[in-house]
Amino acid sequence: MAYIDKAYIESKSNTEDISSILSSNGIDVAELNNIITDAEATVNRKLSARYVTPIPTPTNDLKRIVLDITLYFIYSLSHNDKEMEAVYNRYLLALKTLDNIANGKESLSGATEIAEPTSRAIIVAKSRTQKYTSEYLDTM
């Protein structure tokens, strides 16, 4: 289930810029869908530490996060960092928001939390002392 689609992007952004970047004849739907899929994978990867993904009913905030990441991916195809500073800043803010959601600093309405969030603890197992060493067996 896609969080956003071409129509959503067109309603929230400058389609002329996007069209010129993706194709001289307009937006190539297959390429745009691949970019959207990559953005959604980024979102799902970050949210999966706390929520069941994909989110079945994405909120407007979540759609905006996916849009910001998608626009960053699109603009990075033909612009340098200075040319797309505003897009880059929105991208960084989107990633920070996702991290805050995943870490429990913010919540995501309409999403199902995982019963036990993935632990990030490291478990160290120490081996037991070997009882039947060669020295012990030689004494028998």
- 58 within some domain: yes
Q: What is the mean pLDDT of each run of 10 residues along the chain (140 residues)?
A: 91 86 72 93 94 94 96 86 88 95 89 73 65 72
Domain count, the chain: 1
Q: What is the pTM of this model?
A: 0.75
What is the predicted pLDDT for the residue at 31? 85
What is the predicted pLDDT for the residue at 122? 65
What is the predicted pLDDT for the residue at 125? 62
Residue 60 DSSP symbol: H
- 41 within some domain: yes
- 54 within some domain: yes
What is the predicted pLDDT for the residue at 120? 62
- 37 within some domain: yes
- Domain hosting residue 131, numbered range: 6-138
CB neighbour list of residue 22: distance below 8 Å, 6 or more residues apart: 28, 31, 32, 74, 77
